[in-house]
Amino acid sequence: MESQTSLQELTKLSHTYYERQWMYATAGNLSCRAGDVFWITASGKHKGELNEKDFVCVSVGDGSLVSAREGLKPSAETSIHQVVYSQISDSGAALHVHTLDSNLLEFGVGKEEGFRDFPLPPIEIIKAFGIWDEKPNLTFPVFYNHTHVPTIASEIKRYIETKGKPQVPFLLIEGHGPTVWGKTVAEANKHLEAVHFLLQVMARRI
């Protein structure tokens, strides 16, 4: 029942994000965790028309397919969600979108470099992450946009293993878009809205 409710929430958010122009056509992917498995949007599904049957079930442990309706296969970015769930124990939902500002921002992360931390503007919206410090000195990780998505996932895992969990509940793939997480779908959505505003501010400060 809990998983069904989460899928209903994700379906509604998919339509909302499409209307906001955060998930054009089949772009982006949404998921929620249920113990040792997670449900993620199937590959090639139009996000403005998504329904609760357009999700597949995947193992948190190794990213293998557990179950899917005939003809459905996991999103191409399933490996990124799998790393989030396997490396961040309290993550219960993960959302990945392609906003305009996240694609306009340029960070210059090199292919061999893989990732780099960048400062966040210490503005009020950061309280959405549960951080109440006055003018906090925070960074977020930006990853090189490898064509081979599992390579991005491996870099995210390497980041967490070497540097720990990011200071804020999101990461950015340069020229691609943010991935956020939260304990619940509602919390992840709150984080995503805050991230969208932060990236808008950053894009306009250039």
- Give the H or E element holding residue 6: helix 2-19
Quote the domain boundaries for residue 83: 1-205
Indicate if the pLDDT at residue 104 is higher than 50: yes
Angstrom distance (rounded) from CA 108 to CA 1? 44
Indicate if the pLDDT at residue 80 is higher than 90: yes
| Annotated binding-site ranges | 96, 98
What is the average pLDDT across 120-130? 96
pLDDT for 196: 97
Average pLDDT across the chain, whole number: 95
pLDDT digits (tens, 9 = 90+) for 32-70: 999 999 999 999 989 999 999 999 999 999 999 999 999
Angstrom distance (rounded) from CA 144 to CA 104? 15
List the CATH number of the domain containing 11: 3.40.225.10
| Annotated binding-site ranges for Zn(2+) | 96, 98
Q: List, as own/partner pairs, every contact residues 3-9 make where C-beta atoms lie below 8 angstroms and the sequence separation is at least 24, other chains included.
A: 3/32, 3/34, 3/39, 4/52, 6/32, 6/34, 6/39, 6/93, 6/184, 6/185, 7/32, 7/39, 7/52, 7/55, 8/52, 9/185, 9/186
* Range 56-72 burial, b when 16+ CB lie within 10 A, else e: bebebeebeeeeeeeeb
**In the chain, how many domains are there?**
1
pLDDT for 24: 87
Indicate if the pLDDT at residue 205 is higher than 90: no
pTM of structure: 0.95
pLDDT for 1: 43
pLDDT band for 84, please (50, 70, 90 cuts).
Answer: very high
pLDDT for 2: 64
pLDDT band for 180, please (50, 70, 90 cuts).
Answer: very high
Neighbouring CB atoms inside 10 A of 108's CB total 9
What is the average pLDDT across 19-23? 95
